[in-house]
Amino acid sequence: MKPSRDIARLIEIMAALRTPGTGCPWDLEQDFASIAPYTIEEAYEVADAIARGDKIDLKDELGDLLLQVVFHSRMAEEEGAFAFADVVEAITSKLIRRHPHVFGEARDLSPAEVKALWHRIKAQEKADKAAAHRAAGLPEVSEDRGVLAGVPHTLPALTRAWKLQAKASTVGFDWNDARLVLDKIREETAEIDEALAGGNKEAIREEIGDLLFVVANLARHVDADPEGCLNAANTKFERRFRGIEDALAAEGRDAKDATLDELEALWQAVKRTEKAKVSAG
């Protein structure tokens, strides 16, 4: 088996890996549920390569993500559900159907008209999918209804909060000013203070959840991705903490041997250095 630029070779390799008796024992024991976490992980690794601007890694990570699609498709084909070609047909059909202003006769539409058309098409798709599930005797998901329908439970929590709030805003359930959301954040922090004073761990967890939910809403109001904001904060924290470790290492010391006051002083020094570089650059 030789590598190839042809998608058919990848499908052949996956089939070989899943062939009983001659395939890979690990691949053979997998199912949709066991592979799903890897699918999510590969999507994150694609996003990480993009964030780092690493096109070499991006090529490899996109390949890993594509493998996940082929893997799921192969398992479905073994069950007689669908094959990779059906996946391709489904997405090409969807793209053509959702872009009648490009592939059909609905020409010269304004951005607002395109958006309205998109929502009508998606609503019809949803109705058609529900009908197909009923025809196949599949149970309907009771939660998948109403304004908030269609937001996957498997999304990262901050992203899911953002999407739920965006859905609710379509019927006017929303603040009309980001500063009002900021007032709500202050209210939530006060409630956390009360919960901390009460010492009830369940109440504390609930109030922290409420705070994070409102922070995600603030991000949405200023057109910022909350996951992106938190990832940037994580990266900044890592960079600054490593700066602390580097400063201590230069003195032959370790972070665990420093006092909290020393760590804080070094943290502030790293921050000042970063700001000075930004100002100079």
Q: Which of 91, 73, 71, 92 is nearest to 82 (CA)?
A: 73
Answer yes or no: is 145 within a domain. Answer: no
- Please indicate, yes or no, whether residues 17 and 46 belong to a single structural domain of this protein: yes
- Please indicate, yes or no, whether residues 170 and 245 belong to a single structural domain of this protein: no
Q: Which domain holds residue 86?
A: 7-98
**177-209 per-position pLDDT tens digit:** 999 999 999 999 999 999 999 999 999 999 999
**Domain total of the chain:** 4
- Please indicate, yes or no, whether residues 255 and 211 belong to a single structural domain of this protein: no
- Please indicate, yes or no, whether residues 12 and 82 belong to a single structural domain of this protein: yes
Domain of residue 163, CATH code: 1.10.287.1080
Q: Where among 202, 224, 246 does a domain terminate?
A: 224
pTM, two decimals, is 0.68
- Please indicate, yes or no, whether residues 83 and 114 belong to a single structural domain of this protein: no
pLDDT of residue 127: 84
Average pLDDT of span 221-245? 94
Q: What is the largest CA-CA distance in the chain?
A: 72
- Please indicate, yes or no, whether residues 74 and 118 belong to a single structural domain of this protein: no
- Please indicate, yes or no, whether residues 194 and 123 belong to a single structural domain of this protein: no
Q: Which of 189, 235, 182 is nearest to 210 (CA)?
A: 189
**49-77 per-position pLDDT tens digit:** 998 899 999 999 999 999 999 999 999 99
The total number of residues written for the chain in this structure: 281
Answer yes or no: is 124 within a domain. Answer: yes
What DSSP letter does each residue of 129-186 carry, written as one string? Answer: HHHHHHHTTPPP-TTS-STTTT--TTS-HHHHHHHHHHHHHTTT-S-SSHHHHHHHHH
Answer yes or no: is 127 within a domain. Answer: yes
pLDDT of residue 87: 97
